[in-house]
Structure 1
Amino acid sequence: MSKVEQEVSIGRCISILYRQSQAHFSKELQSYKIGSGQYAVLLALKKDDGVTQERLSTLLGIDRANITRAVTKLQNEGYILRKPDEEDKRIWRIYLTEQGRELLPILEGILGEWSSMMVKGLSPDQINILAKNLKTMTENLGYEWITEE
């Protein structure tokens, strides 16, 4: 174990960052009647409107039960709608509503502010190295990054 690992637990730091981010997003999103568990769905739909719940689950690395809860909450609040696939009526596709599209810039602003707070004091090179290392760590745990084609 290196000296850094002895002084700072990487897992503990990631846990603290996650808990603090969830609290921050919950507070910031409270007036929109959504929680920290739903904003990622809206951002994913910005890139891939009309995606299936199964695809959302894969893209976000979130289990299907949690995706179902998030989609239901967002639908109840009017941010998304579900429509059957035109070719296969068993498949439901998820789309942003106008209300959902209007929320996107607000979400992006909240996320941008949070990111700026987290990396304050780091150089662009340090941020790039950190991002690369975190990506490698998630891949080591079996997460497969799905890139846009």
Structure 2
Amino acid sequence: MQILISSELAPYRIGSGQYIFLMAIAFQQPITQKALSEKLLIDKTTTAKAIAKLEAEGYVRREADPNDNRYQLLFLTDAGHKVVPEVQEALGRVKNKTRQGITDDEYDLLIGMLKTVLHNLTNQGEA
């Protein structure tokens, strides 16, 4: 899937590792980089690299958090807002390819099971 996603997003200069950050910011802006890492369950270093790449491409901008100067809020730029629908369409094409030959119920079961596995892995230390 990552190869297909990379291919679909190449025209927008967004790697398969950055789109998840772009979409999360699009649906929950403003958001701090720390909150973004926590929401996506991705380490801070990886998040910082992805945000830096999106910022360099002109899709994301940072602003100081008026409530706490230690943090910066992440927003989409105009270019970021314009590319989000394109990214959604590209991801939809990939999703449609992955669903071929699978019923809606089977797909929902698969996604549910994968979420359970992810939950189990992220809460491993709490058992």
Q: In structure 2, which of residues 21, 33, 48 is the aligned counterpart of residue 41 of structure 1?
A: 21
- Counterpart for residue 14 of structure 1: none
The answer to whether residue 35 in structure 2 is matched with residue 78 in structure 1 is no
Quote how far apart the aligned CAs of 1:70 are.
0.6
Secondary structure of 2:74's partner?
strand
Secondary structure of 1:141's partner?
helix
Q: Distance in 1 between matches of 2:63 and 2:43?
A: 21
Secondary structure of 2:122's partner?
coil
Secondary structure of 1:81's partner?
strand
Task: Note the aligned Cα RMSD (angstroms).
Answer: 1.1
- Counterpart for residue 94 of structure 2: 114
Quote how far apart the aligned CAs of 1:31 are.
2.1
> Partner letter of residue 142 of structure 1?
T
After TM superposition, which residue ranges in structure 1, 4 or more long, deviate above 6 angstroms?
A: none
Larger relative contact order (C-alpha < 8 A, sep ≥ 6)?
Answer: 2
Quote how far apart the aligned CAs of 1:42 are.
0.9
- Counterpart for residue 15 of structure 1: none
- Counterpart for residue 59 of structure 1: 39
* Residue deviations 1:19-77 (CA, integer Å, cap 9, x gap): xx221222222222221111111100121011001111111121110100011111111
> Partner letter of residue 25 of structure 2?
L
The answer to whether residue 100 in structure 2 is matched with residue 124 in structure 1 is no
Secondary structure of 2:70's partner?
coil
Q: In structure 1, which of residues 79, 87, 95 is the aligned counterpart of residue 67 of structure 2?
A: 87
Name the TM-score, length of structure 1 as normaliser.
Answer: 0.78
Q: Distance in 2 between matches of 1:28 and 1:121?
A: 21
Quote how far apart the aligned CAs of 1:114 are.
0.8
Compare CA radii of gyration and give the structure with the larger one: 1
> Partner letter of residue 56 of structure 1?
L
